[in-house]
Structure 1
Amino acid sequence: MSTHDMSAYDDLPLPRTDLALSAMRLARDIEHPAIFNHSMRTYLFGRSIGEQQGLRPDLDYDDELLFLGCVLHDAGLSDQGDGEQRFDVDGADLAARFLGEQGVSPERIEVVWDAIALHLCHEIALRKRPEIALVTAGAGFDLSADGPYTLPAGYADRVHAALPRLHAAAVLFDAVVGQALTKPHKAPPYTLPGEFLRQHTGRDWPTWRQLMDLPAGWHDYDGYRPAR
């Protein structure tokens, strides 16, 4: 992505480093436009949430790392990112490979990997360093605008003018389900992808006892009587 390609975002506080531009180009090229726009908004909303927490870019956290985690956090929903794991872990692995090819240090890659792999684990991610926590906070805010934070007046309008929603929530749901219909192991029971698949198919989830009895056959429930 060239500087000219960035002109649509001139009014937005995005990092302009070579690495950030390369990551943006990758995400734009491999992702559905709605998912790309969601990923960009994740950064913009996450950064704003950080400011409301008193966190200053490049003083209290590494702004480039936050951007990389945000812009690549749903890369696992692309054809190139579709592996054999849940999409969040597949996306983290794709990001790590890309950043390694760019010469990024293992320590910095690990932060981005954690940010992407943990972004569905809300309670855990929010207790991590800002480069990780703000990915989850920004992604969640973009989809539900839920939580204790509010955006500055007119900010959402500016962001949406440059990065329209394009039915983001619906596209994300269909992308997760589409992968899971082909590879059900990517959506195990009691996970968010698993719940999306259950809602789409109407299938019942196995009970805890069924999950425990079927694979190993340890018979933990045979003769068991719960304490009273």
Structure 2
Amino acid sequence: MDFSLDLPTGPLAEAVLSTVRTSETPSVANHSVRSFFFAQLLAAHEGCLQDAAYDRDLLFAATVLHDLGAGDLAEGEARFEVEGADLAANLLRQHKVPEADIDRVWEAIALHTSPGIAERRGLLSYLTYEGVGIDFGRHAEIVSSWEKRIHAAYPRLAMVRSLADAIVERAARSDAAAPAYSLAGEMLRERRAEGVTRLERAAASCPWGE
């Protein structure tokens, strides 16, 4: 794989980057871009780059937009994964992306916190889920040759705490945003009961730190 830190170009890619950079904290926006790079490295590691289902532009959209539901564009009226998927779909629709591709991106974003499901819903959902997971330290060995350069270009900036704050804040806005046993619902419960979430505690053992 001829890997680099170059990002996709063109009107859609520019809109994707502009949207996350203006609606998310810098730490969450950087997390989203790192997730794209890590997903690409995983795809190369597993020999998926020539797969008919592999689409770099859709992977960029799904990974970079996956936390829109934790940003300023979200109203906190639904689970952050679903609200983010809806926002991403609207953006892609404005750029005339085919509906079938929009649906794939929607599903990848909506399922990015659903282990055991995302991996079985096609290559885009799988790579999005795993790319995000690698940024939390899962399968770190796969990206070890590139992670220092990726982190230098897109530093973490206390990402875990920043993301947890954003998810919990929106989860507190409505019952629909924090249904029982959803990630946001559990994080809101943990913050209220203990002052800290398991996600934040787990950052202590992440090879990349917080």
Specify if TM > 0.5: yes
Match of 2:161 among 170, 190, 195: 170
Tell whether the 8 Å contact from 2:53 to 2:124 is kept in structure 1 after alignment: no
Q: Secondary structure at the match of 2:157?
A: coil
Percent identity, aligned pairs only, is 39
Distance 1:196 1:129, change over 3 A: same
1:31 aligns with: 24
Larger RCO, structures 1/2 (Cα 8 Å, 6+ apart)? 2
2:101 aligns with: 108
Match of 2:186 among 195, 198, 206: 195
Question: Within 5 A, what are the aligned runs for 1:81-160?
Answer: 81-143=74-136, 145-147=137-139, 149-153=141-145, 155-160=146-151
What are structure 1's unaligned runs of at least 5 residues?
A: 1-10, 204-228
Normalising by structure 2, we get a TM-score of 0.85
1:220 aligns with: none
Match of 1:62 among 55, 61, 65: 55
RMSD over aligned Cα atoms: 2.0
1:8 aligns with: none
- Whether 1:186 aligns to 2:203 is no
What are structure 2's unaligned runs of at least 5 residues?
A: 195-210
How many residue pairs get aligned? The number is 192
Task: Measure, in 2, the Cα distance between the counterparts of 1:125 and 1:198.
Answer: 24
Tell whether the 8 Å contact from 1:63 to 1:131 is kept in structure 2 after alignment: no
Q: Secondary structure at the match of 1:126?
A: helix
Task: Measure, in 2, the Cα distance between the counterparts of 1:162 and 1:77.
Answer: 22
Normalising by structure 1, we get a TM-score of 0.79
The CA deviation at 1:26 is: 1.1
